[in-house]
Each structure stands twice: as structure tokens, then as C-alpha cells.
Structure 1
Amino acid sequence: MISLVESGDFIYDYLLADSGGAMKDLLITPLFHDVKGHLKSHLDEIRKSTMVHLHAPADVSGLLGLAMLEAAFLDIGIQYRRRFLPAQHHIPRDERIEPELPKDGLLIFIDPFEDTWKVDELPSHDYLHITPLSVSVRIGSNQKERRGALDVVAQCAALSAALSPNGSKTRLLRPFASTGLWLREALDTTFDPVHTTLRDILRDEGAFRIVPLPEVASPAQGMIPGLSERMLKRLQKGWGTMDAESRASALSELVLPALQSPALSTPRLEELVWHRLVVGESDIDVMSQVFLVENSWPKDEKEAKIHASKLADNLLKSGVLH
């Protein structure tokens, strides 16, 4: 049963059967070591609640984080209400989004653009506040420690899989678990160890394949400044007959204009050229979906809330962001 509560607010009250194999428990991976206890306390609160209220800003990060939790709730039959709040750019600079506490049930406030906190410095609230968290990551052959921010979408994906490890809808949304990190600014300046680590975890479990740009049938246009679409199409046609050296040379020539553009950082360009995330045999990669949705987002506050709810519904049904 789905009943409209108000514009952008929905309540779901039904159970979907579990299907598919178990996903990797992100909470036991080294990436989540620093925040494991904190997120497990969230799980305890969710499991003992008879009603959960999900609040998130009406933007792409808010939508993805909220949908991750919705997927698990639908899989295991947790009753919840969804509410989209004004996006960050609709809030005056000297104000902050303050969620309204419900009369009953548990409130979860997904806050993508809050400052990044260390777990032991988080302020207390009368609700679950999901905000970017500082974590340490060890990568490379020398296992050098680096620090980064674990975004809200990744946290919601971890909570979702812990709640519903065999859930069909939880698995359907799994390929989007690293998209919140893509939407953050870290990749615009330097290599992001958190993004790379989570991306590789998801690849290894089979959530998606990582392929170079020419192997994506219909990537979104406009993601790489100065890219010749005609040259890309020619490269796609001949890609299967080329050896590794020829492919590398052709790709370097293809993206040369982008290397000379200040509009795109080298780490983000490398991801767009060599690390496209493709689910099954889909014609479009995950980041292209995110790019297209982000660029077509309504500017009006009320329209944005309605739009976010429609996208969430479609994503939960199809596993495609459109």
C-alpha cells in the first residue's frame, strides 16, 4: 500500500520477498572500521522502531542516500515515511536545515553537505544524524594510511545491506553505493582513497563491471570537456580489434583537450576515461546516470521535492536513475 501524505512525502507499508545472494557486509571491511560501532548503534535503533521517518534534502545525494535505506525497509517490511527537505542551495547561507521531530517513531536525517566529523566528536541529537564521517584507509603495496570522508550514501548503503543482506531491492540499488563520493568535491582536487576503495569492493562483489569509456555503449555527453563525440564513436567501432598499446594511445589522443582544460581534475578525468561503472549489459554507466539527473534537476524548490520523490520511486522499481 502506498498513500500520499503530502507533496514529496510517502508512507510505505508492505513486505517484499527477499531474493538473490547476500552482499558483502561493508561494516566488516577496513574502510568502515572507524565507524563500525557508530553505524551498528544506528542499526539497533532502526530495528527496534515501529515507524521510521526518513528526511533528506531534495538533491541527488539526498535522494540516493534515502533510497538506499528505503530499499532495505521495503525488503524487510519496516514501516516508514519519506520526506524531502529543501536542498542546500535553497537555504540561506546563515541558516541550517533543521528536521522536524515526529510525534512518534524514529527520525533519520540524511545530511550530505554537513561538515565531515570524527565519530568521537559528533554532537548528540534526538534523531539519527547521518553526516559525512572521517575515516582512515590503507591502500597500495606499502599500505600507507590516508584519510578521507565517508559520505552519507555509502553509509546508507552499508546500513541497507546490514538490514537486508539478501534483499532484492537492496541489491538493485547496490551499484549506486559509491555515487555520493563521486558527487563530493574530493575528486576535484586529488586522489580520493575512500572512493577508490569502495569502488573496488563493489566491483569485486559483482555490483558492476569497471570498463574504459569506449566500452560504454551510450555514455552521457558533456562529462568530459572538449571530448570529440565523433572521435569517440570511431574509437568504439574499432576498439575490439585494437591491442592494449593502441587503445592507450587512442584514449590519450581522445582526451588530450580535457587535459588542457581547468574544468576537470586529473583524478576525475582518470575515472571518466578508465573506470566507468557498468551494471550487467547496460548501455549507460552509473556515473552517466548521475550526471544526467544532476543536470536536469528542477531549480524550483517545490518542483525539486516532487522530482526527487518520483526519481526515488523509479530507482526502487528499476534500479536505473532516470
Structure 2
Amino acid sequence: MRELLREEVFSTVRSTLSTAGEAMATSSDAILLLAPPTLLGALTIAPIEAALLDLGIPYRRRFRTGDPETQPFVHILGLENSSGPVLESNHLGLSIASVVVEGLRGHHGDARKGPLTTVSQAHALAQSIFSESSRLRRMRPWLVSGNWLLSALDTTYDPVYTALRDLLLSEGSIRVVPIPEVDCPDTRNSPWLDTDALEAVSKQWGKMDLEGKERALSNLAKPALTSSTPSSARLEELMWHCILGKEWRTDLATQILRASSFWKGGLNRLAADTVVDSLLRDGQC
């Protein structure tokens, strides 16, 4: 896996997360991992916990709102905060919040900015703690899950999501495929999609030439063009750029949707624990 903190998209948080990671990797005290009981909170806690678990560092997981009462701690802040990571002066406390960063540059050299989420920062921190973590490696495709959950893809192009997705692709952590190549897609992400038509296209996909595949995908996506949702950016990801981890039969968007369903029962802490436990065990949800 490429070292995330060496990537340009992480340049503004590099020093803080690197220093925090070094301190946590040698901690003899149990580290409090505190996050709100949301899907974003669970997806942020999971990679940090994976690194600590594989390195044998003691920790406590807590899903609740409010401030940490003990040190050392990692405190995951909600979406209302966008200050980025903040490390206590004694290096015993780290708060992580999303922050807007430069993702890619346009054809004319203009900066394209987007959110560096708590999830992607947590993956970078976890890699700094223990880069050889096998659990962390299994959940590597989830690096972009925070960006998928946020609204940037619903309004415009998210350059940070694209940069991170391309990074995962280049290092071999994921495959990016059109939806007919996903073994078990969940069309709840795409209620406008004709499931019978998708099944028919999937069966014939291997026999089609490039032009036929492009035409088939365009026909499948056509009903979405008359609706206000999804945005063109999210539609492109749902239809043309499905993310698959190694040996995955369902794509990342489907797994995120499945994970979000755990919150329907109203037991938020249980839902968050379920997601983290699943990611630690299987690298999937």
C-alpha cells in the first residue's frame, strides 16, 4: 500500500497525523476512541482500531457525543466541524474533523478542492500507527467511503474522491468496473434502474464489443437523466465506476447502503458497533 501521508492530498494534515501516529504506536495506556454513533463515526473508528488491534496497543471504543474525559484519546468530530485534525500539546489527545483540501488540478492548473473526510484521515493515521496491519489492508477500499457519504458528489465533481479512488486503483487495492461486472449489485442505490434490464445486460456483457457495452450502459442509465437525482457525478460512479475490493462480490456503494440500514432500528450505538466489528472481521459489511 502506498503511504497516504506522502500523498499531496494529505499534505495539510501530514505533520499532525504523523506525530499522533508515532505517539500512539508506543502507548502503554489504553487509548480512548470516541466517535458519534453514526455511520461516518463507525467508518472512521474502524481503521484506527484495526491498526491498534494488530499492533497490540490497548484501546477502548466508545460511541457517544460529548468530549473525552480521559487521555490518551482520539476524538472524531461531527460534520459541523471542519477544522481538520488537532493534536494536544502533550500529544496525548487527537481530535479529527474534516477539512477542505486540494484534490486535483484542472487542465489549466487551477486547484480543485474537496473534503478530506475523517474517514480518509483515519486511514492515514492508522497506517502511520502500524503500516503492516492486515486488518487495515483488508479495509483499504473503504478509504473513499467518507466522501461517498458526503454531499459533494450530489452537487458537483469531488476531486478528493477521484484522487483517492485513483490511488487505490493504481496500488491494486481495488478494481473499478461498470455495474454489469458486479456479481451482486444492489439496485436500491439506483431505484430508477430496471433490474430485469440490468440482469439481461449482465448475462450478455462478455459477448459485447466496446461499442455495445457503451450503448447498453447508456440505455440503463437513461431513466436517471430525467430525474433531479442522482447527480451526474454520482450516476457516473454508480454505473461506470463501481469499486470492488479483492474477492468482493458486491461493490462499495452497495456495502455502504447495507451498512446504513443497521441504523433503521434506532439502536445507533449497536449499529455503529456492528459496522466496526464487521470491518475488523471481514473488511466488508
TM-score range, shorter chain: over 0.9
1:177 partner SS: helix
User: Which runs of structure 2 are paired with 1:39-54 in the superposition (5 Å)?
Assistant: 39-49=17-27, 50-54=29-33
Q: What letter matches 2:211 in structure 1?
A: E
1: distance between equivalents of 2:154 and 2:111?
Answer: 21
2: distance between equivalents of 1:235 and 1:315?
Answer: 32
User: Which runs of structure 2 are paired with 1:60-209 in the superposition (5 Å)?
Assistant: 60-85=39-64, 97-102=65-70, 105-117=71-83, 127-209=93-175
Match of 2:278 in 1: 314
Q: Does the CA-based 8 Å contact 1:225-1:261 persist in structure 2?
A: no
Equivalent residue in structure 2 for 1:219, among 185, 190, 196:
185
Q: Does the CA-based 8 Å contact 1:39-1:159 persist in structure 2?
A: yes
User: Which runs of structure 2 are paired with 1:235-314 in the superposition (5 Å)?
Assistant: 235-300=201-266, 303-314=267-278
| % identical aligned pairs | 36
Q: Deviations over 1:51-92 (max 9, x none)?
A: 21001111111111101100000111111000011xxxxxxx
2: distance between equivalents of 1:132 and 1:57?
Answer: 14
2: distance between equivalents of 1:118 and 1:192?
Answer: 18
1:235, distance to aligned residue in structure 2 (A): 0.4
Q: Does the CA-based 8 Å contact 2:104-2:160 persist in structure 1?
A: no
1: distance between equivalents of 2:109 and 2:181?
Answer: 31
Equivalent residue in structure 2 for 1:56, among 17, 27, 35:
35
Higher helix share: 2
RMSD across aligned positions (CA): 1.9
Match of 1:19 in 2: none
Q: What letter matches 1:56 in structure 2?
A: A
1:254 partner SS: helix
Identify unmatched segments of 5+ residues in structure 2.
none
2: distance between equivalents of 1:266 and 1:314?
Answer: 31
Deviates more, 1:36-45 or 1:54-63: 36-45
Deviates more, 1:279-288 or 1:202-211: 279-288
Q: Does 1:31 align with 2:31?
A: no
Match of 1:3 in 2: none
1:118, distance to aligned residue in structure 2 (A): 6.1
Identify unmatched segments of 5+ residues in structure 1.
1-22, 86-96
2: distance between equivalents of 1:311 and 1:43?
Answer: 23
2:127 partner SS: helix
Q: What letter matches 1:68 in structure 2?
A: P
Deviates more, 1:240-249 or 1:278-287: 278-287
2: distance between equivalents of 1:75 and 1:123?
Answer: 23
Q: What letter matches 2:234 in structure 1?
A: R
